[in-house]
Chains A and B, each alone.
Chain A
């Protein structure tokens, strides 16, 4: 029985992954894990191997083996591992490969299982659902239809704005996006992978604009962000005061919305035209933070790392803060020393040397001294 492999972009800024689609799929995985903590069931002739995993940290993996005496009634059931897998699911190994080259479409996430690979979020969802993994089992067909509709709304209205923000805005692209993806994919690929993603993203954004109209980039931007704001408002109204979109338990729509909004809320973007509007939709921000704290709590190591990073930043800021004073002090000290030295030379007769130097006489070595003496 092979495990499913899920290849994703690595996380940053307290997020388990920085990519929208990766976040969505990770959410589904963690949701499944929280609700059925049995992760991995391996059936042998005489035993069942059960793996349980708690939290996102792979170190907290518990394995227990149940030995089954031969001749019991349910041996038949155990002999058919396929049936058991279907019942209990198989585990998903998450690999932060950051390597989109191996993906069939050049995009992450990729779910690999038994030689086939799935890259689209909807395909991954339906595949996981066939494996009894998934999230929307409690919903009725009308609610599933609603999820499909809202997913389309996000794809047509919000996605262009997010792509524009991360890839089309030159300041964000140069300061954040390109360096991040460049360092994530590693040296030789960093030369072309971010550029390829940039092109795909800008092409996608362009389809939303009227190609026949000669709109200025500013007009296009306004159009895209206006639609995105409308979309966020609609989502916020749909969510209302409920903890999740369909009541008390999360659905795949929550996962998708979380995937779209969390990077925007968490990443240190230099500019963010949507942040102000997102701030007014308080319930959506709360949804994201609730999901983050419940489903992706930081492990102890991560908290430690975060604390260290914050301390380092603080220290650096402090150093930067001290720096101007230090130069000022140095400059003042040097000035003071120089002026006192000049004053000293002035009052101890050495001054005469300089005056004669300025006069530029040939036998100036004896004459100035006499002058100085005469003066004093």
Chain B
């Protein structure tokens, strides 16, 4: 297996080479959903799963409580395809679009549409993802009652206090550099509100964001909004905001039914 660094580099700078078929033994690694995974991680895992489902690619989910430390970029989920380990949403999309034969969700979009799709993906990354991180690590109630116990759950006593503390320090310094840790909860809610407003305007009454077929953006938006809607939290403001947008709620329900109900039944 190649080194971690090379793998990320190869995922980030995917060279156009010979396209290969999708192997059968693809694993998607993530942390345990029941007692461990956090809101932002859960959302990005669901986005990746939705993307793979939309492509019709087979994968099996592997649960590991140290998945985060196995990942080349330190974030879940990551997938193992033959000799490659690729983590996070965008590199996985880049890999599937360029290296795997016959799967390119946004291939039929024109240049302008593709630019808009990337812009909306950046919007979700910039606002929804940061808001999820904020609510998990900067809101005192959620931090004490949900985030710290869950994040420390795989470790024995002194570590289950120390490891979340270290992670908390990393997360807050990251949010501080991005200018999010200075915000109040109501400011964050306002940001989420404008983001959802924009997504809702863009979706309008259509089934998907662009045309009649799903794109990467649909997978990303579904992953984040569905997780926000369905995850029970002591501070439930994000879900309340999303619930105000009927077309987004229906969109989540539709995608869930179309791509996830069948797999769960089988």
Q: CB within 8 Å of B: which residues of A? A: 105, 141-142, 144-146, 148-150, 152-153, 155-157, 200, 203-204, 206-207, 210-215, 219, 222-223, 226, 230, 234-235, 237-238, 240
* 5 other A-B residue contacts (CB within 8 Å) besides A210-B8, A234-B114: A145-B197, A148-B198, A152-B125, A155-B122, A226-B13
Chain B: residues with Cβ within 8 Å of the partner, total of 37
- Which residue in B13, B72, B115, B198 is a CB contact (below 8 Å) of A234? B115
CB distance from B126 to the nearest CB of A (A): 4
CB-contact partner of B5 in A105, A213, A235, under 8 A: A213
CB neighbours of A226 from chain B (8 A): 12-13
Establish whether residues A210 and B73, one from each chain, have CB atoms under 8 Å apart when the complex forms.
yes
Interchain CB contact under 8 A, A238 and B116: yes
29 contacts between A and B (CB under 8 A): A142-B204, A144-B198, A145-B202, A148-B123, A149-B123, A149-B198, A150-B119, A152-B122, A152-B123, A152-B125, A153-B119, A153-B122, A156-B125, A156-B126, A203-B176, A204-B177, A204-B178, A207-B177, A210-B74, A211-B74, A213-B5, A214-B5, A215-B5, A222-B13, A234-B115, A234-B118, A235-B115, A238-B119, A240-B112
Decide: A200 and B177 in contact? CB cutoff 8 A.
yes
Q: How far is the CB of B209 from chain A (nearest CB, A)?
A: 11
B163 located at the interface, meaning its Cβ lies under 8 Å from any Cβ of chain A in the complex = no
With the chains together, A222 CA to B9 CA distance in Å?
A: 10
- Report how far A210 CA is from B5 CA in the complex, Å: 10
B194 contact from A148, A211, A222, Cβ within 8 A = A148
A-B pairs, 6 with minimum CB distance: A212-B74, A145-B198, A149-B119, A153-B122, A203-B177, A152-B126
Complex alpha-carbon distance, A148 and B4, angstroms: 35
Q: Are B125 and A146 in contact, with the CB atoms below 8 A?
A: no
Main secondary structure of the interface of B (DSSP, over half): helix
Binding site for A on B (CB under 8 A): 4-5, 8-9, 12-13, 72-74, 111-112, 114-116, 118-120, 122-123, 125-127, 170, 173-174, 176-178, 182, 194-195, 197-199, 201-202, 204
Chain B residue contacts of A149, Cβ below 8 A: 116, 119-120, 122-123, 198, 202
Nearest B residue to A107, CB-CB? B179
CB pair A153–B201 under 8 Å, yes or no, is no
In Å, the complex CA distance between A271 and B38 comes to: 43
Q: Which of B125, B127, B170 contacts A211 (CB 8 A)?
A: B170
CA distance A84 to B179 in the complex (A): 37
Asked whether, in the complex, the Cβ of A207 is within 8 Å of the Cβ of B111, the reply is: no
CB distance from A134 to the nearest CB of B (A): 16
Question: Contacts of B182 on A, CB cut-off 8 Å?
Answer: 105
- Please give the distance in Å from B87's CB to the nearest CB on chain A: 9
Question: Do the beta carbons of B5 and A152 come within 8 Å of each other?
Answer: no
Residues of A within 8 Å of B201, CB to CB, are: 141-142, 144-145
Q: Which residues of the partner chain A approach B204 to less than 8 Å between Cβ atoms?
A: 142
Give min CB distance, B171 to chain A, whole Å: 11
CA distance A234 to B110 in the complex (A): 11
Contacts of B115 in A (CB 8 A): 234-235, 237-238
**Complex Cα distance A211/B174, Å?**
10
A349 to B204, CA, bound (A): 109
A234 to B117, CA, bound (A): 10
The interface residues of chain A lying within 8 Å CB-to-CB of B4 are 213
